[in-house]
Amino acid sequence: MLKAAESRRTPQSWDRDREEASGTEETEAQKTDMQIQFNDQKHEFNKRPANIGRRSLSRSISQSSTDSYSSACSGSSEDESSPRDKPQATSKGLSDFCIKNIQQAEFGRREITIAEQEMPALMILTKRAGGEKPLAGAKVMGCTHITPQTAVLMETLSRLGAQCRWAACNIFSTQNAVAAALAEGGISVFAWKGESEDDFWWCIDRCVGAESWQPNMILDDGGDLTYWIQKKYPSIFKKLKGIVEESVTGIYRLYQLSKAGRLCVPAMNVNDSVTKQKFDNLYCCKESVLDGLRRTTDVMFGGKQVVVCGYGEVGKGCCAALKALGTVVNVTEADPICALQACMDGFRVIQLGEVVRQVDMVITCTGNKNVVGREHMDRMKNGCIVCNMGHCSTEIDLVSLRTAELRWERVRPQVDHVIWPDGRRIVLLAEGRLLNLSCSTVPSFVLSITATTQALALIELYSAPEGRYKQDVYLLPKKMDEYVASLHLPTFDAHLTELTDEQGKYLGISKHGPYKPNYYR
């Protein structure tokens, strides 16, 4: 149609257009100059966030989301130097923190506000507490991912009476703007995105080693904080009232301490609670694994051959998401029960070595070590994507890749090409660390379930009468699991059916619950 319209135009109209164009060249140049100036002004505005009104709300959310994206997975525009020796202070004069840039606090506050809207149970918990402070006197030291969702948890703990100090459990997952907002709000945070291994342990030590502040509760994710205090500050470790741990790696370490007789405080195993296993591990990973893969690699999923190592709740979520987009999913599994579940869900259960030459992606979800070894990576096809959805970075044998004959090439933040002498390469994401929190973001609502469980576990351990909990690892009471679930049901306008007295008696339970035995998982 465009060509037909042009053909109907006369030579006179072309001449007239040329005359009009020549007469407007100066005007167009002025417009261009004005546009360039306007774009520069917009760029400067983005650098200096100001208070915004209702008219610019959509732009505010868009900018905040973009900042979240860059915090979560790019970070390339950030100053890559360590802030350890850079003095910083909040607007109120607090300097007991170490983050990347306190000037990002306003953006971080917006991210936290958005997350709060998807975390209803913590808001309800605070409201139901009313004027009571069940954590009054608690000094909670945390080592978790520092994201908008965990920020909502920290601020909830503060509203419930606790004092908090925090470090990051992962060198890539900290969102710098959120860390800045927490520091500006009065919480001592020691974390930034892209820490070195030395920075990581320095931050934990600074978090613990305050002369005027000693913790009496620990909230851990991975066991690193517990390990550091137990090893370097044994006197503090012995005085703790309790530990709350949410990862399979950290729970494994706690059970080791208990077995060796070196766990001298009670600990709560949140990882094996129903609200963690069946919601965070399953649904969070189901929604976030694709996000992390696509943001880092722009990969097309349809028709790809994938191996998911492990068919626990994390593996189940990853497999379901990948299958829904048309990938051909293979599963490796050591547990015959999980292997049978994978078979009956329609997945082929194999050993990694059987298909490693053909697959396009390998995703680890086991919580174990050296699941993907050098002998596997030597045989992978060119361009195979290798990543980890388990908490710990030991699932992929990275040590074997740090050799002279292999060349590492950083192509994007958290994306490395590891190149063999023949030119073949694999695509390694987040240096083998947790993909979703290192390279993308996660659903706030699912994390609300875990965060509420953690808060209640802290309250339970802190307020329990002396003698209720011994020096051992405990599972969350089933009644508490059910309470956490009930707090989230109003979001879906869900209405529970109430048992009659006769029905409760028939089942041998109270009609008000708990509805499952404590061993139910």
Q: Which residues are annotated as a binding site for substrate?
A: 147, 221, 246, 276, 280
Q: What distances in angstroms separate CA 110 from CA 62, 141, 463, one per listed residue?
A: 11, 24, 33
Q: Please, what is the end-to-end C-alpha distance for the chain in angstroms?
A: 65
Under 8 Å between Cβ of 322 and 306: yes
- 189, 247, 257: which is closest to 219 by C-alpha? 247
* Cα distance between residue 416 and residue 429, in whole Å: 6
* Burial class, 163, CB count within 10 angstroms (exposed 0-12 / middle 13-18 / buried 19+): buried
449, with CB counted inside 10 A (0-12, 13-18, 19+), is buried
The closest of 122, 116, 93 to 183, measured between CA atoms, is 93
Residues forming the annotated binding site for NAD(+)?
A: 312-317, 333, 436
Q: Which amino acid is at 435?
A: L
Q: Which two tokens stand for residue 15?
A: 């001449």
3 state SS of 339: helix
Kindly report the number of other CB atoms within 10 A of residue 25's CB atom: 9
Residue 330: phi and psi, rounded to 5, are: -110, 150
The edge-to-edge listing of strands for the beta sheet with 361-364 is: 348-349, 328-332, 305-309, 361-364, 384-388, 425-429, 415-419, 407-412
Residues facing 386 on adjacent strands: 362, 428
Can you say which residues are annotated as belonging to the binding site?
Answer: 147, 221, 246, 276, 280, 312-317, 333, 436
- From the CB of residue 34, how many other CB atoms can be counted at a distance below 10 Å? 10
Contact 434, 170 (CB under 8 A): yes
Contact between 419 and 286 (Cβ < 8 Å): no
**3-state SS, residue 70:** helix
- Residue 180's contacts (CB-CB under 8 Å, 6 or more residues apart) are 99, 100, 101, 102, 103, 104, 105, 107, 108
